[in-house]
Each structure stands twice: as structure tokens, then as C-alpha cells.
Amino acid sequence: MAEKCFLCGEKIHTTFLEKIQGTYLREGKKLKALCSTCQKKKQ
Ligand SMILES: [Zn+2]
């Protein structure tokens, strides 16, 4: 199942190991998916 980036709404592709090409941000008990593009913007 594809995750969507919580910032831009783009689908985040996963690697064959089911890792997302991006990162997760922890917010409370929830994990928010962030695509690699938005990840770079945040840095
Ligand atoms: Zn994004």
C-alpha cells in the first residue's frame, strides 16, 4: 500500500524492502510520511 506525503500529497514509492523513499516524522503516536522531496526542503 502506498503512503502519501502529508505535505504535498504525492504518493511515496517504496523500495523492494518496503521502505519508503522518504522518511517518517513522529507526531505523538502517529507517524507521518514525508516524501524525499519534502524531506530535502525541510533540511
Ligand atoms: Zn512531499
> For the chain, what is the domain count?
1
Q: Say what the pTM is.
A: 0.75
Q: Express the helix, strand and coil content of the chain in percent, nearest 5 each.
A: 15, 40, 40
Spans of the chain, pLDDT less than 70: 1
Asked if residues 22 and 36 have their Cβ atoms less than 8 Å apart, the reply is yes
17-26 residue pLDDT tens = 888 899 999 9
Query: How far away, in angstroms, is 30 Cα from ligand 1 center?
Result: 17
How many Å apart are CA 28 and CA 38, to the nearest integer? 20
Number of alpha carbons in the 13 Å side-chain half-sphere of residue 23: 11
Range of the domain at 14: 3-42
Query: How far away, in angstroms, is 22 Cα from ligand 1 center?
Result: 9
Query: How far away, in angstroms, is 2 Cα from ligand 1 center?
Result: 13
Query: How far away, in angstroms, is 7 Cα from ligand 1 center?
Result: 5
How many Å apart are CA 28 and CA 7, to the nearest integer? 17
